[in-house]
Amino acid sequence: MPRASPVCELVPCIVVSVLSVPNCPPCSCLPDCECIWSDWIDVSYPDGSDRNSGDYETFENIWKKNPTWECAKVENISCRAEKFPNTSIADLGQKVECSADVGLICNNKDQQIGGIVPMPVCLNYQISVCCTPNVPECLPTPSTTSTTTSTASPTTSSVSPTTSTTSATPTVEGTS
């Protein structure tokens, strides 16, 4: 009677045994790295009497006001005026920066009379950010630049399409 081929011949045995563990729920071992939207954030209020003031819903200001706020990486941002939550910022007639790099910046000195606001001051804005979860598996890997310290003697390498040569450079420890 011919003997059946082992199951592990085409599939590594370790995978078969891991998949057969009854208490391992499928797909629950990997974190969900989809960004998560925050509630609306408002940590700054523009001072209408100061032309050098404005509304600054920056990530730096958010961390200053709320040191426990965590956002590993801002993937996206949404900005709105507190009093006009359903009006797009472009339709408000104000010069505002809303970016996933810094947050929201509105300077009173950049505003002009007209539009929704009868005075040249910033509206009070709010932001919501979509953050990558703060777990190692979801964070970007560090860049490939690194610093290496070596105590070995220097080496020289040269590579051509067909050959590779490496030679050690001798070091002199002392004179005799």
Q: Hey, what are 119's tokens?
A: 């005075």
Among residues 32, 87, 40, the alpha carbon closest in space to that of 62 is found at 40
Among the residue ranges 32-41, 93-102, 139-148, 161-170, the one predicted with the least confidence is 161-170
Whole-number Å distance between alpha carbons of 34 and 114: 40
0.85 cut: is pTM over it?
A: no
Average confidence (pLDDT) over 85-111: 95
CA angle 16, 17, 21 (to 5 degrees): 120
* In the chain, domain spans: 42-132
Average confidence (pLDDT) over 22-50: 80
Residue with the bigger pLDDT between 81 and 28: it is: 81
Contact present, 126 and 40 (Cβ < 8 Å): yes
Whole-number Å distance between alpha carbons of 40 and 47: 20
Whole-number Å distance between alpha carbons of 11 and 61: 54
